[in-house]
């Protein structure tokens, strides 16, 4: 009867390969974190309409809702590269509907959103909301008698939400994988310990 215990213990003992599996899950979690985050943020700049100011430009705003105007302190427009400070000083901006001429209220961005993708880096500058989609005219000028550098503004919708969603989704994946890996290591360690105890004390249940 006693001779059966080592066999039983051997059958229920998890192999050390489970530690290796836990390590694979841990590494895979970080790999998936990077992939999901990259996919979420890649092409972020494609949905942004660029405007070089001072000057006036038309924006085709296809959806109603809230929009953010970003200052792209690192940017590329055509073949020209722009690089400067994140701070915008003295620039007076206005927005109006081309169809009705109605002014749209611009306010300072409540969220401090940053992005860096495709050689472009921007920080949230202003925000506004429209009820009707259409063509809008954005004007940005320095006050009379004051000079300032040419800068790039980029206008888009849902950029901050996309960044937050991508980050939170990636973190959920990596922490989920870490949790599974830790649980697997603990389970394997406990089961191997109990199996070892049964081998050393075959009459202990």
Q: Are the beta carbons of 81 and 179 closer than 8 angstroms?
A: no
205 falls within a domain: no
Distance from C-alpha of 40 to C-alpha of 72, rounded to nearest angstrom: 20
Q: Which residues contact 94 (CB under 8 A, 6 or more apart)?
A: 103, 106, 138, 139, 140
Q: What's the pLDDT tens digit per position in 55-71?
A: 999 999 989 999 999 99
Q: What's the pLDDT tens digit per position in 33-55?
A: 888 887 777 766 677 899 999 99
Q: What's the pLDDT tens digit per position in 107-136?
A: 998 888 888 877 888 898 999 999 999 999
Query: Angle formed by the axes of helices 159-200 and 4-12, to 10°?
Result: 180
Q: What is the pLDDT of residue 116?
A: 80
Please tell me whether residues 124 and 187 are part of one structural domain: no
Full residue range of the structural domain in which residue 196 is found:
4-40+166-200
Please tell me whether residues 52 and 11 are part of one structural domain: no
Residue 140: pLDDT band by 50, 70, 90 thresholds? very high
Residue 91 tokens read as 């620039």
Q: What is the pLDDT of residue 12?
A: 54
Domain count, the chain: 2
């Amino acid at each position: 009867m006693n001779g059966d215990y080592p066999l039983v213990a051997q059958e229920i003992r998890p192999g050390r390969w489970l530690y290796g599996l836990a390590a694979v899950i841990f590494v895979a979690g970080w790999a998936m974190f990077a992939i999901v985050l990259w996919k979420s943020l890649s092409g972020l700049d494609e949905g942004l309409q660029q405007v070089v100011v001072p000057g006036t430009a038309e924006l085709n705003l296809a959806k109603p809702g809230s929009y953010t105007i970003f200052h792209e302190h690192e940017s590329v427009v055509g073949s020209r590269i722009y690089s400067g400070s994140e701070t915008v000083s003295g620039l007076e901006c206005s927005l109006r509907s081309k169809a009705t001429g109605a002014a749209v209220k611009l306010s300072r961005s409540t969220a401090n959103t940053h992005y860096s993708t495709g050689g472009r880096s921007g920080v949230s500058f202003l925000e506004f909301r429209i009820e009707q989609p259409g063509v809008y005219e954005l004007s940005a000028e320095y006050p009379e008698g004051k000079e300032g550098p040419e800068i790039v503004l980029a206008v888009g919708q849902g950029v901050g939400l996309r960044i937050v969603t991508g980050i939170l989704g990636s973190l959920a994946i990596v922490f989920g994988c870490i949790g599974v890996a830790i649980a697997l290591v603990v389970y394997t360690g406990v089961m191997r310990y109990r199996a070892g105890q049964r081998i050393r004390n075959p009459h202990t249940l």
